[in-house]
Amino acid sequence: MATTQYQKIILGLKVRQFRQEKGWNFEELSRQTGISVSYLNEIEKGKKYPQPENRRRLAEALGISGEFLVSPELTQQFAPLGELLQSNFLNELPLDLFGIEIQQVVEIIARAPDRVNAFISALLEIARNYSLRDENFFFAALRAYQELRANYFEEIEQAADAFVQQYSIPVDGGVPAALLTQILESQYGYHVDARGLEPFPELQSLRSVFNPHKRRLLLNNRLNERQRTFQLAKELGFNVLGLKERPLASNMLRVNSFEETLNNYKAAYFAVAILINRNAMVRDIRNFFGQKTWNGQLLLDMMAKYQASPEVLFQRFNVLTSDFRLEKIFFLRFIHDLDRDAFDIDKELHLNRRHQPHASGLNEHYCRRWLSISLLNSLKQQHGEALSTYPNLLTGVQRAAFLDSGEEYLCIAIAKPGYPTVGRNVSVTLGVLLDDRTKRTIRFWDDPAIQRTTVNVTCERCSLADCAERAAPPTTVQKREERRRMQEMLDQLTQK
């Protein structure tokens, strides 16, 4: 029976622990066992598993039984580490994507197990307190991977280019759903049912479901043309890229592994790449940025040209780093729950660093001065809550200066109803830090018509006085001020 990675790591930890307890270095353990120093080093790192004779020598030299040496049992010192090593959480972490081997993680832990175990226990306790599940970690790891790669994947771009050339996909927008349906059915044995989810009222919030046994793609009959085209293009992505582990529904109701999460993203990336040709998009963005004044109609024209939703269009702005050298940018997607009149960030991406506008898991109230939220409020006021089809989408631009840091971002946003899901609206926002590079690239950045607004992250953390848009009192600021006054008084009492 093949030795598992877990068995190698556990045995290595035991050898390391008992060697150090005896005060031996590798040379002394080598002298005691007759095993080379280099091989002992590989054993302790969990890279090698010794043969039976060498296991016997190690056990005798270290003063432990051979049964304990090869058992999954760990001493009390390393017991929490053993639980972590056996957990799905550590097994599913995509360490290889970040150039990290699990042995490196174990080696770090083994240097100071008590302290690291306490740290890990604290992280797990935080996760439990905030009801964080495996998928929260998977999505966070995916965002980190996207940010590491500047959200640009040349290998998928090349696969998309080859596909476009092979099937004569239009490169200047307007990819027809009928063409993608024909490719799925003729080349990949699919049966596409445009009304497949109609008999299932419980699934009306889903856009598609794939039955792998019958090769049937069931679509929501309420999808508009652009939504239907994207679902077909994404399905092609799973097949062209050979992504086997994948979700079967458009919404990931249950996440089984990080591989599934990553593959879902790759398929969506492929879909965007074939629907919005990179070279054509770069030309359109260059024209958009070259305007001396803000022109939101150009964004809507791009959406119409590529038959793309705001999310798909803004995803294609991933070329900003590779083709425009704009690196300090962020993307946010806000959901406006009309029943609760609440705003949540369900997707975000930060390139180059963690930018000021970001999601908060503390149930605080996001700053109502953000363009993302003001557009959603305008959408609700103009169209009401019963909207079920695409209206005239709302676009906007803002120069947002953050109160605490003083950094200023040029923010561009589009708001739309969350059709086919009723009861919510959606806005997507691109933010670019206004540095010298941005000012040279985006000519309309200083258009006098663009509103300049002081903003913050949440109302609870904002000290801005007389804010007409405030949705909650600055409780965090108040508590921080109370602690500051307490500390001042303590300093006075404890001074000579």
Looking at 108-179, which runs of residues are DSSP E strands? Answer: none
Residue type at position 26: F
Question: How confident is the model over 368-412, as pLDDT tens digits?
Answer: 999 999 999 988 887 544 433 445 689 999 999 988 888 999 999
Question: How confident is the model over 133-180, as pLDDT tens digits?
Answer: 667 777 888 888 888 888 999 999 999 999 999 999 999 888 999 999
The rounded distance, in Å, linking the Cα atoms of 41 and 48 is: 9
Which ranges in the chain are annotated with CATH 1.10.10.2910?
148-275
What percent of the chain is modeled with pLDDT above 90? 51
Would you tell me which CATH number, out of the four given (3.30.365.10, 1.10.3720.10, 2.60.40.10, 1.10.260.40), belongs to the domain 5-131? Answer: 1.10.260.40
Average the pLDDT over 313-318 and give the result.
93
The sign of the dihedral angle between the CA atoms of 477, 482, 486, 489 is: positive
Question: pLDDT band at 120, cuts 50/70/90?
Answer: low
| Helix, strand, coil percentages for the chain (3-state, nearest 5) | 50, 15, 35
Q: Which of the residue ranges 79-88, 103-112, 428-437, 467-476 would you say has the lowest mean pLDDT?
A: 79-88
Question: How confident is the model over 62-95, as pLDDT tens digits?
Answer: 999 988 888 888 776 666 666 666 655 556 566 6
Give 330 or 99, the one with higher predicted confidence. Answer: 330
Residue type at position 97: L
pLDDT at 185 (0 to 100): 96
Which residues touch 270 (CB under 8 Å, ≥6 apart)?
Answer: 156, 159, 160, 163, 233, 234, 236, 237, 240, 241
| Spatial CA neighbour of 462 closest among 330, 383, 366, 332 | 366
Supply the Cα-derived Rg of the chain in whole angstroms: 28
Question: How confident is the model over 2-11, as pLDDT tens digits?
Answer: 677 778 888 8
pLDDT at 74 (0 to 100): 77
> Reduced to 3 states, what is the DSSP secondary structure of residue 410?
strand
The rounded distance, in Å, linking the Cα atoms of 285 and 443 is: 12
Would you tell me which CATH number, out of the four given (3.40.50.10470, 3.40.50.620, 1.10.10.2910, 3.40.50.1820), belongs to the domain 148-275? Answer: 1.10.10.2910
Which ranges in the chain are annotated with CATH 1.10.260.40?
5-131
Question: How confident is the model over 333-353, as pLDDT tens digits?
Answer: 999 998 888 899 888 888 877
Question: How confident is the model over 24-48, as pLDDT tens digits?
Answer: 999 999 999 999 999 999 898 888 8
Question: How confident is the model over 48-64, as pLDDT tens digits?
Answer: 899 999 999 999 999 99
